[in-house]
Amino acid sequence: MIEFSLEVDASGLNCPLPLLRLKKALMEVKSGDVVKVIATDPAAHLDFGVYVEQTGHTMVDLLKQESVQIFYVRKK
């Protein structure tokens, strides 16, 4: 199990809301902390992937379970 500092439940939200919730969560934690985001938007992995690539944060893990995606993002 991956340790995380903050969990964000973005279930039921569509693009761009899951990404906006991640951005807000990353502002609340310190460098090196991990944010866990639960999302049901099927395109969330695309948005999150581009976002971490452009900002320098790290996608620690991505778990896909049926209609749910769980992201672990480490703040740079």
What are the catalytic residues? 15
| Interaxial angle between packed helices 17-28 and 44-55, expressed in degrees from 0 to 180 and rounded to the nearest 10 | 40
